[in-house]
Chains A and B, each alone.
Chain A
Amino acid sequence: MPAPLSFRNFPSCIAPKSESGRERGHVTIRTLPARPVSYVICLLMLRAVPLLSLLFLLGLLAPFSARAAMEIQVIGGAASKIGVALVPFQTAPGQPAPALTQIAGDDLNRSGQFRLIDTSGAQQPVEPAQVDYGVWRGKGVEAMVIGQVVALPGGRFEVRFRLLDVVRQTQLAGYSYNISAGQWRATAHQIADTVYEALTGVKGAFSSRIAYVQKQGRRYELKVADADGQNPRTVVRSGESIISPRFSPDGGRLAYVSFEDKKPVVYVQSLADGARRKLAAFKGSNSAPAWAPDGKRLAVVLTRDDASQIYLIDADGSGLVRLTHGGNLDTEPVFSPDGQSIYFASDRGGSPQIYRVPVAGGEPRRVTFSGSYNVSPAVSSDGRHLAYVSREGGRFQVTLHELASGQTRVLTDSARDESPSFAPNGQAVLYATVLGGRGILGTASLDGRTRARLSEQGIDAREPAWGR
């Protein structure tokens, strides 16, 4: 559990996403001076800092209000949570809906690490000088967010917000954003990231993206959405199934398996321009792509020489090297964060279990020993945890496995879980499950006590993957 109001790692504050190249300075961020000058903790870049290029894309392609909402349900809760009040910002005429504090509050709620304190009926301060700290402390508030939205010419808005330490009566962070309406939600996620990092010491992941496959009748759509399931946009449409999307480490490309060629073929597609090509289309089946941390090569599963075996291939399709041997079924590779080894599922021991093999080659070592079916491994970015799907008593559930201790914990109470993947900050797991006969996406906190549902009315969603 994170220590409340820890200021570790603070200088990195709202570090801009490092998607290089095609970023645009369409969003400018600057700091608001903290009133009690002694606690200016976050000295921000005064030059124009580009938000991730996605902001630009979203602004063009996905109007914030166009899509049906994915609802969020927080099912459980952790024991120790940080009390946070998000005071609704002073509004501007014509501002988008829902409110920024609503979107950011949903983000913080899903993480399971905060107790959002009701602000109705209380004073609604806009500036720190208006805050009656005693009243908020009396409500159990440890930190609060205040702010305002100001309409600018040309349909743009200025969003100003401050994060205040209610106990010490100081400002922890303060920012001003100059945004278009299309950047509304992304701005809210940036606010949530700022709050999350300031209060937990861990970088937030609310501005990240997810990919998933939506099935409608016989049509399949590969989609990319915000981490809260909003702003979905379709990147591939097909009359045949698509599975196993995986973001490249820089978030700019998706690898996935498409069946459009009457067999499984691995494609790599640029998200910026939609251009794609076949990465692996060898004789037999081609599947289960996994990016190396450097983004320069991938692990794939091929059947060209033998049963399903793991190979390494350069991102340009050259340099194919076979990694596993033996004629058993080896699949679902995933790189360790240091890029030195690969976890994968194999039946070499008689039942499906997770193994680990050095990328340089060598004898695989078994990692999971309990149960008779452990598949679909994912590794957290700090390398401490595995998540995978275990079958126990006919139920398929996401299990968290602490590698150092070997301790495991079932994270869900559903029965048909698939495809776990970690948030970029390693603090939550995204997965698919089935509820009421249709596929839904969910997130679970690492303690398993907070689960959120990302579901859209009437859709069948599956094969989620979390990217940066």
Chain B
Amino acid sequence: MNRFVWPFLLALTLSACGTTGGTQATVEDRTGGTTGAATTAGSGSAATAGGAETTPLGGQGVAGSALDGRQIDASGDPRKDPASPLSSRSIFFDFDSFVVKDEYRNVLETHAGYLRARRDARVILQGNTDERGSREYNLALGQKRAEAVRRALGVLGVPDAQLEAVSFGEEKLRNEGDSEAAHAENRRTDIVYTDE
């Protein structure tokens, strides 16, 4: 079934994420609509809902170390097993691109399977950019990378209530160098489980 879904998923994200693509209306019907029905819709006090999603981790340092997906944990959590695709937490993008590449199929399918099996699990998808250009504009660009991964997981059957796409723009550079290789490390979406 996964193999069945994948080409469709790619096509969807491709059309959804083209910067100036004209096919966005159809995509909005599928994904944007469910976002609009999200539970946190409401006034500014919805902050508490967002906070509740994200507080279990507590200190910021913990979030930072969890992102690289290389933590080894003896607790038996499959997400911590370095042999599992669940330990892969970053989806990298080409320059000026917002398309999920085919090489991440297995990683995303595995995460989708985990999320479908555990309906109480939630992930924040954090889009990132390299550091060139305006911080706020990059924040909006990073959002497109987060949305691309959110749509991919949605197509793989993960309910929207388990997903939140946000952006860190250029605020969480993994590599602060100025080389193309450094920029490539920064163009990514991180998958962050809220209970980790």
The reply to whether B140 and A308 form a contact with Cβ atoms under 8 Å apart is: yes
The residue from A283, A327, A396 contacting B38, defined by CB atoms under 8 A apart: A283
A180 within 8 A of B: no
B interface, how many residues as a size bin? 35 or more
The reply to whether B60 and A240 form a contact with Cβ atoms under 8 Å apart is: yes
Q: How many A-B residue pairs lie within 8 Å, measured between CB atoms?
A: 163
The reply to whether A350 and B43 form a contact with Cβ atoms under 8 Å apart is: no
The reply to whether B133 and A396 form a contact with Cβ atoms under 8 Å apart is: yes
Within 8 A of A (CB), among B68-123: none
Please, which residues of chain B bring their CB within 8 A of the CB of A287? 136, 139-140, 167
The reply to whether A303 and B124 form a contact with Cβ atoms under 8 Å apart is: no
Name 13 extra pairs, CB < 8 A, besides A327-B24, A373-B133. Answer: A243-B171, A261-B50, A283-B38, A288-B139, A301-B136, A303-B166, A304-B38, A305-B35, A307-B140, A330-B140, A331-B137, A375-B133, A375-B136
What residues of chain B have their CB less than 8 Å away from a CB belonging to chain A? 19-20, 24-25, 28, 32, 35-36, 38-47, 49-51, 54, 57, 59-61, 63, 124, 126, 132-137, 139-141, 143-144, 147, 164-169, 171-172, 192, 194
The reply to whether B140 and A463 form a contact with Cβ atoms under 8 Å apart is: no
The residue from A240, A279, A376 contacting B137, defined by CB atoms under 8 A apart: A376
Interface flags for A247-290 (1: CB within 8 Å of B; 0: not) read 00000000001011111110000000000011111111101100
The reply to whether B168 and A281 form a contact with Cβ atoms under 8 Å apart is: no
Q: Which residue of B lies closest to A278 (CB)?
A: B47
The reply to whether A345 and B44 form a contact with Cβ atoms under 8 Å apart is: no
The reply to whether A389 and B134 form a contact with Cβ atoms under 8 Å apart is: yes
The reply to whether B133 and A391 form a contact with Cβ atoms under 8 Å apart is: yes
The reply to whether A375 and B137 form a contact with Cβ atoms under 8 Å apart is: yes
Number of interface residues of A (CB under 8 A): 55
Q: Least Cβ distance of B139 to chain A in Å? A: 5
Bound-state Cα–Cα, A214 to B45, Å: 29
The reply to whether B135 and A243 form a contact with Cβ atoms under 8 Å apart is: yes
Within 8 A of B (CB), among A297-349: 301, 303-308, 313, 316-318, 320, 327, 329-332, 345, 347
Bound-state Cα–Cα, A86 to B19, Å: 57
**Contact of A304 with B60 at beta-carbon distance under 8 Å, contacts A264-B167, A375-B133, A418-B134 already known:** no
